Amino acid sequence: MQAQELQERGIELIAVSFVDNAGIVRAKTVPAARAEAVSRQGVGAPFAFSIFQGNDGMATATGYEATGDARLIPDLDRLTAGVDGWGLAPGDLHEQDGGPWEFCTRTFLRRMTGRLATAGLEMRMTYELEWYAERDDGRPAHSQPAYSLNATAEAAPYLWEVARRLAAYGVEVEQLHPEYSAGQMEVSVAAADPLRAADASVATRHAVHSAWGPTGIRPSFSPLPRPDGLGNGCHLHFSLWRDGVNITGEGASPSPDGAAFMAGVLRELSALTALGCACPLSYERMLPNRWTGAYACWGVENREAPLRYIPGTASTRPGSANAELKAVDASGNPYLVAGAVIAAGLAGLEEGAPLPEPVQIEPSRVAGERGLVRLPDSLAAAASALEASPLLREALGERLHDAIVSVRRGEATAAAQLAEGALSELYRWRY
């Protein structure tokens, strides 16, 4: 990409992003004039990024605490123009000899989409993001009622600026509105292939963060920014396609293929939670009667089920049928989550795994009689579930799998040493 082309697009600086195993979006910045050279050579990225925690501490698993350097190479085909002279490009992490680095989560997702292609399948995905927006004086950006036109009017100038920046970063918005809690916002974006969906999730967050300067409203994608709030999710919607046809559902129920794929995801749900919910606060949010999904089950349009089948409207079926994984928040690395869902779902599909009967009521009310398993209630428990998953160990690769488990355990240990109530303060502005 020539410097003149970048100049014409108004790009003077390029943030090259990658997401670490703790779900933090890290970045290196390069002048636009160096974009072509950097796309060949990359920029330095310490091996230690494989063990960074969300609190910026470092776990011990890979032996890379101080030694070694990878190269971060921007994917300029995915460069978006942004605003204020900035562009954003997702990056891939490579070894010094040019080969892919085994801890690159974007490369992991590419590998899993390759498995889909081998099976003659495609997937469409999108992340539905919630965040908390707070004015510089500490007031939330809107004061409720939930989902109301009053809240929309109160936050209107802010929402306009956010929408403008989302468009600039190439994010196709389908819905943007105030959510349930005071100050809570939600954006739904168009579905895409898994890699583009994960890239869009990163771009969405960055666009929202970049609106802080001109609006004086600071965003937090933390799972629980304020102890008295409901917290924020980052739900993953996905659908399965073959030969251009959505095969996820048949009317109001999953299709046989869709059911087997969902069954594979369901049986890995506890381990998947460790990838989708990387923050200790995640587990203070995932409670019954919070629409977060606390028990391993699925349901048709049941917002209390962590795996929800959505038939779509009759006029748009089968194209609109999809499933929603709710045990995800913005502390989860979107590349890891998407890739792991593919791995789990494909295993179910290949085996013709049976999908149990749906749960069509708040699951805690029938957990005993239905034998429902409670999802991990702490980061440490989620780490143990991930450690015990041979399927995700194989999909991720031994060393990436072990690094993630170590990061989760290191973060859980550090969180246990904090005084009660300090977690929200620590993580409020980290996501």
Rounded Cα distance, 426 and 61, in Å: 24
Report the pLDDT value the prediction gives residue 187, as an integer from 0 to 100.
Answer: 97
Q: Is 50 left (phi over 0), alpha (psi -120 to 50) or beta?
A: alpha
Second CATH level (architecture) for the domain 110-418: 2-Layer Sandwich (3.30)
| pTM score | 0.96
CATH superfamily of this structure's domain 10-101: Glutamine synthetase, N-terminal domain (3.10.20.70)
Domain residue limits, the chain = 10-101, 110-418
In 3D space, the residue among 404, 411, 412 whose CA is nearest the CA of residue 387 turns out to be: 404
* Mean pLDDT, residues 101-118 taken together: 97
Rounded Cα distance, 375 and 72, in Å: 35
Report the pLDDT value the prediction gives residue 189, as an integer from 0 to 100.
Answer: 97
Rounded Cα distance, 167 and 350, in Å: 39
* Mean pLDDT, residues 97-118 taken together: 96
Report the pLDDT value the prediction gives residue 128, as an integer from 0 to 100.
Answer: 96
Report the pLDDT value the prediction gives residue 332, as an integer from 0 to 100.
Answer: 97
Mean pLDDT of the chain: 93
Rounded Cα distance, 171 and 213, in Å: 20
Label residue 375 by pLDDT band (50, 70, 90). Answer: very high
Q: Could you write out the DSSP letters of every residue in 67-90?
A: --EEEEEE-GGG-B--STTEEEEE
* Mean pLDDT, residues 131-154 taken together: 94
Report the pLDDT value the prediction gives residue 131, as an integer from 0 to 100.
Answer: 97
Is the pLDDT at 314 greater than 80, yes or no?
no
Q: What is the pLDDT of residues 199-253, one digit of tens each?
A: 999 999 999 999 999 999 999 999 999 988 889 999 999 999 999 999 999 888 9
Report the pLDDT value the prediction gives residue 416, as an integer from 0 to 100.
Answer: 92
Q: What is the pLDDT of residues 265-305, one digit of tens each?
A: 999 999 999 999 999 999 999 887 777 889 999 999 999 99
Is the pLDDT at 428 greater than 90, yes or no?
yes
Is the pLDDT at 306 greater than 70, yes or no?
yes
* Mean pLDDT, residues 362-372 taken together: 89
Is the pLDDT at 45 greater than 70, yes or no?
yes
Is the pLDDT at 198 greater than 80, yes or no?
yes
* Mean pLDDT, residues 64-70 taken together: 76
* Mean pLDDT, residues 342-359 taken together: 97
Is the pLDDT at 317 greater than 80, yes or no?
no
Rounded Cα distance, 222 and 228, in Å: 13
Q: Is-contact 325 276, C-beta < 8 A?
A: yes
Q: How many other β-carbons are positioned within 10 Å of the β-carbon of residue 361?
A: 13
3-7, 225-229, 376-380: the lowest-pLDDT one: 3-7
* Mean pLDDT, residues 381-409 taken together: 97
Label residue 82 by pLDDT band (50, 70, 90). Answer: confident
Report the pLDDT value the prediction gives residue 347, as an integer from 0 to 100.
Answer: 98
